[in-house]
Chain A
Amino acid sequence: MSTNRIERHTFAILVDNEAGVLARIVGLFSGRGYNIESLTVAEIDPSQHTSRITIVTSGTPEILEQIRAQIGRVVPVHRVVDWTVDKPSIAREMALIKVAGTGEKRVEALRIADAFRARPVDTTHTSFVFEITGSPDKINQFVDLMQPLGLVEISRTGVAAISRGPDPM
């Protein structure tokens, strides 16, 4: 196909929360050789048994079009939305970041965390665990800054995304 331009897109997939539904979606990605950069899933409506899966993936525009069509074909899928092309949207991710150190580095870590509105949720004399929420880029940036300050461990949730304005997906 024509272009080789790689783009990153965020898909929201509304599914029936039945056994194996996540395996169907993930298996589709691995089986057809698509990327998964991040994956978030949780039940969103217990009365309707629906879950929402958010997948960040990358590929050429042709591949991304295929991904959407292939997901749409999975039987328990209600809807697929590509947030990158369909509607203006916001994407957020939460991360817990452990930083260990003392002295000047410890002070600097706290100062930067404050600038990023990252909150210490666990504190010892030699460490912090920061909770940070924001766009994936913001979290990446924060992680980069923590690197020389004693970064120990990162746990990220993956992206949750939603459209702007009053309408649902």
Chain B
Amino acid sequence: MDKTMIPSIKEMTGAEMVIQALKDHGVEHIFGYPGGAVLPIYDALFAAANELVHVLVRHEQGAVHAAEGYARSTGKCGVALVTSGPGATNAVTGLADALLDSIPIVVLSGQVATHLIGTDAFQECDTVGITRPCTKHNWLVKDIADLPRILHEAFQIATTGRPGPVVIDIPKDIQFKKGFYVEPGSVSHRTYKPPFEADIDAISQAVALMASAKKPIFYTGGGVINAGPAASEHLRELVELTGFPVTSTLMGLGAYPASDDKWLGMLGMHGTYEANWAMHDCDVMIGLGVRFDDRVTGRIDAFSPGSKKIHVDIDPSQINKNIRVDLPIIADAGQAIKAMIKVWKQKEYKADKKALAEWWEQIERWRAKNCLAYKQNGNGIKPQYAIDRLYELTKNRDTYITTEVGQHQMWAAQRYKFEQPNRWMTSGGLGTMGYGIPAALGVQLAHRDSLVIDIAGEGSVQMTMQEMSTAVQSNLPIKIFILNNRYLGMVRQWQQLLHGGRYSHTYSEALPDFVKMAEAFGCVGIRCDKPEDLDAAILKMIDCPKPVLFDCIVDQMENCYPMIPSGAAHNEMILCDADEEATQVSDAGKMLV
């Protein structure tokens, strides 16, 4: 076959193919860090500077988290480019993070030339070996003829089915070699055929079960967000149609508007009293795009003992993994919700009004506990107060929130009310401190005019704070809002509750002067330690056109409640410090993380 006769086949180098494939897959922004083994790709990038914006990060972990933030806030695929050896190993945390949270990203890594592989060459490492367990799939490209196909498969696998990270490891000689590029449409994968549509019989059974429910609850998760904004719209319609209460995991926040009265708040370890009690006592649980994570279920054998469980997920391996369910449905959450609405309407189902009214009465009694209330003692800023003020002052703006990991993250999840999907970027599954700053960069790059805030802890920010330099260089005016308690607060809380208050290595004697640090980076630093000054300081941060580091000095010993201690059941929640003395964490519970 004469290849020149077919217009879609062009001869180019491997590096050019990479750039061409990025363009063909609609990529406009990538995050990366150069090195010897990716020089040819960087050279091709130089030529494509008008079409592809590259953000130079300060650490490859930052590149991957930025790609995650970009992906999570846009629904598109995030892309990162790293060099071989240390470039690739630095990317590993981000890959593991994206795998657990089902974030679609393509990471391109350079590799030593094919003839050097296996010789312990300079900056050689077994990238596919190291990243195999923390990617959805990965490839080492050994032949230029395979490169176009692999590039296209990578985007397909990362973005479809249960999304996730993929790595393409490209040896340097392959980047230089010439070959024939084929366009995306021309490849179809031999084995990868992800599910999508829901089985209509299973949906009909599920809907019949829902219609007969007396104490139903929707338990929604990141799968609804991943199913696209339409899925969130459909969720709203289904909740409206049925009148059922709805709770969500950490990853699912925003799929259902937090201002609505059907919203019970987040569930799980730091979930609300009403959400966890409703999960415990319900008779029909409708799990949508969730995975019954241990942070959600608490003690497995005491998890929602009396309910029939419907479980919709696109990944068959999540069915019956932690919790046995009665009705599994393997499908895209959005498709399943749409089908449920259709069946509910077709069959003219009506919810059991009387039973539902009683259920709601019960829920209102739980709600009346006001479980997120806190005591304002002392003159300092309570972290909860800081989040509440941040919420009030930003809620009417076009705001995106990222977080680090710790107490501040949980307070943000509990108190910041999300009305839309894709506005909340947090490291849920892996719990990666250091996620928030680079993720915010990714979000800001995709939404130049929006307000992007990283709700942070002083511990976490020090893991990736070098990315403030990236923020300055790339003109990304992110706001880093630190709840500074000088403690690795979440760990300190566990030490208080489980280890007799022995605060082993959780206090930071030394901390940088964050205001000076901000200035040194070329950002703006703001410090606030008085509740009465907080609003003005937050407004100053919001109005600042530059990246801002906000050092909000908060109560050092505040604990995050409610809390289900590890190994306990949903109905064994601790609500405040006074409760905690009465609660004994079992030895088995202490084993859990």
**Residues of chain A having any CB pair with chain B under 8 Å:** 1-2, 15-16, 19-20, 23-24, 27, 31, 62, 65-66, 69-70, 72-73, 75-78
Contact = CB atoms under 8 A, between A and B. Distances in A.
B191 A20 contact: no
Contacts of B192: 75
Contacts of B157: 75
Contacts of B133: 27, 31
Interface in B295-324: 300, 315-317, 319-321, 324
Contacts of B140: 19-20
Best-buried of B136, B189, B321 by chain A (most CB within 10 Å): B321
B132 A20 contact: yes
B300 A1 contact: yes
A20 B316 contact: no
25 contacts: A1-B324, A2-B324, A16-B190, A16-B191, A20-B128, A20-B132, A20-B140, A23-B129, A24-B132, A27-B132, A27-B133, A31-B133, A62-B324, A65-B320, A66-B317, A66-B321, A69-B321, A70-B317, A73-B315, A73-B317, A75-B136, A75-B189, A75-B191, A75-B192, A78-B190
A19 B142 contact: yes
B132 A72 contact: no
Across chains A and B, which 10 residue pairs bring their CB atoms closest together, nearest first?
A69-B317, A75-B137, A69-B316, A78-B191, A70-B317, A31-B133, A73-B317, A75-B192, A76-B191, A27-B132
B316 A73 contact: yes
B191 A72 contact: no
Contacts of A72: 316-317
Given A16-B190, A75-B137, A76-B191, 10 more contacts: A1-B300, A1-B324, A15-B191, A19-B142, A20-B140, A23-B132, A31-B133, A66-B321, A69-B321, A78-B191
B133 to A, nearest CB: 5
Contacts of A70: 317
Contacts of B300: 1
Interface residues of B, number: 21
B319 A77 contact: no
A76 B136 CA distance: 11
Interface in B117-140: 128-129, 132-133, 136-137, 140
Interface in B310-361: 315-317, 319-321, 324
A8 to B, nearest CB: 20
A69 B328 CA distance: 13
Nearest to B142: A19
B330 to A, nearest CB: 10
Nearest to B128: A20
A166 B475 CA distance: 67
Interface in B255-287: none
Interface in B161-200: 189-192
A73 B321 CA distance: 14
A31 B135 CA distance: 13
Contacts of A23: 129, 132
Nearest to B132: A27
A74 to B, nearest CB: 8
Nearest to B161: A73
A23 B133 CA distance: 10
Contacts of B190: 16, 78
A116 to B, nearest CB: 40
A73 to B, nearest CB: 5
Contacts of B319: 69
A75 B132 CA distance: 12
A15 B321 CA distance: 24
Contacts of A76: 191
Contacts of A77: 191
A69 B319 CA distance: 9
A73 B136 CA distance: 9
Contacts of B129: 20, 23
A73 B313 CA distance: 13
A62 B320 contact: yes
Contacts of B137: 75
A78 B189 CA distance: 11
A73 B133 CA distance: 13
A70 B317 CA distance: 6
B326 to A, nearest CB: 14
A72 to B, nearest CB: 6
Contacts of A69: 316-317, 319, 321
B129 to A, nearest CB: 7
Contacts of B132: 20, 23-24, 27
Contacts of A15: 191
Contacts of B142: 19
A113 B86 CA distance: 57
B166 to A, nearest CB: 9
Contacts of A78: 190-191
Contacts of B191: 15-16, 75-78
Contacts of B320: 62, 65-66
A15 B190 CA distance: 10
A70 B324 CA distance: 16
Nearest to B133: A31
Nearest to B153: A75
